[in-house]
Amino acid sequence: MNTREWLQKLVSFDTTSRNSNLQLIEYVRDALATQGVKAELIHSPAGGKANLFATLPARDGSAQGGIVLSGHTDVVPVDGQPWSSDPFALIEREGRLYGRGSCDMKGFIAASLALVPEFLAMPRARPLHLALSYDEEVGCVGAPVMLDELKLRGAKFDGCVVGEPTSMQVVVAHKGINLFRCRVHGKAAHSSLTPRGSNAIEYAARLICHIRDIADHYREKGPYDEFFDVPFTTMTTNQIQGGIAVNTIPEFCEFAYEFRNLPGMSVQGIQAQVDAYVQGELLPRMRREFADARIDIETGAGAPALEASETAAITQLVRALTDDQGKRKVAYGTEAGLFHKVGIPTVVCGPGSIEQAHKPDEYIEVSQLDACERFLRRVGQSLEQ
């Protein structure tokens, strides 16, 4: 199949993160098998989802070293979005291919799979690897499972390209993403007897405001990196729920917050500011009202920041193949930081614009897929030496 045919097939699988991706993954596995490529599935702990890892060996049969082409198979929901066409049926209009995941990031996966026959025919001195993950969109959950398995086997790689949509430009850094869920446990009471309760919502609000104060400090004082579109660390509270009635002091409130840290900033150091406020000020105040008051903060999924080395061979290669020397850093997270963290030099470069990701009528331009094909072909050719 060519790239467009592959993309049509991949989009037809509803791999919204809440669903299983096994149908897509097994289809890819079977398609690779018909070409003599053995793909391994590395399942989630519960077994309902899987990563796929496949190696196209070097001409001497070697599977060590070489370059990894990495992409995630899950997509964000379409719920409530005003799509002009079926989001899971690829459709072309005026040089654009519309469908959920066409840009983020099944376009890159489609181009990679379409070129497998060419890759196999190349007299490569080094292997090429395909790494497809699950649940990137909900905190980069799947890739660590795959990377842990590969590490156990002692697998070594020279570099990795994560094909997130960058308009085929080189991205050398992105922020880390860190997700937390906070549960505040107070004491219920009738609202006419306010002193007999401990209001979980009000104390949650105090903590939320403190998180905002920390965020404001980073915005006003830095540190800064002007190469980022948002050049400072950010913190936001994005979900909250609590309370059962307007005349009842709430005993429980739950909220979720995140921060996106610049590379080099300590994740533990940022979170320590939240913990210090909880332990030093908020909990003592709550417990003067209710001795058993409790605030639990649970660390969720996330991904480390990426800061690629300009001297790394993969950075220089991708810059040379794209003829792009720009220094780009982005606020959104990717799985590239995970690969980098385990010692695999990694850059981000893929077709489509991040501006189209997650939106209704998501699309990728045909010209971007063509450019991606040319780039990937050159990556394969670079392994012939």
Residues with catalytic function: 74, 136
The CA distances from residue 12 to 16, 90, 318, 319, 374, in Å, are 11, 7, 31, 33, 25
The CA distances from residue 317 to 70, 158, 169, 223, 382, in Å, are 16, 11, 13, 31, 8
How far is C-alpha 81 from the chain's CA centre?
21
Nearest-10 crossing angle of helices 267-277, 200-221:
140
Report angle CA 314, 335, 172 to the nearest 5 degrees.
40
Report angle CA 147, 148, 149 to the nearest 5 degrees.
90
Nearest-10 crossing angle of helices 366-382, 3-12:
110
DSSP characters over 220-259: HH----TTBSS-S-EEEEEEEEE-S-TTEE-SEEEEEEEE
Q: Which two tokens stand for residue 193?
A: 């007897």
Phi/psi at 321 (5° precision): -75, -25
350 vs 75: CA distance, rounded Å: 16
Q: Which amino acid is at 36?
A: G
Contacts of 96 (CB under 8 A, 6+ apart): 363, 364, 365, 366
Q: Which two tokens stand for residue 212?
A: 């905002």
135 vs 312: CA distance, rounded Å: 28
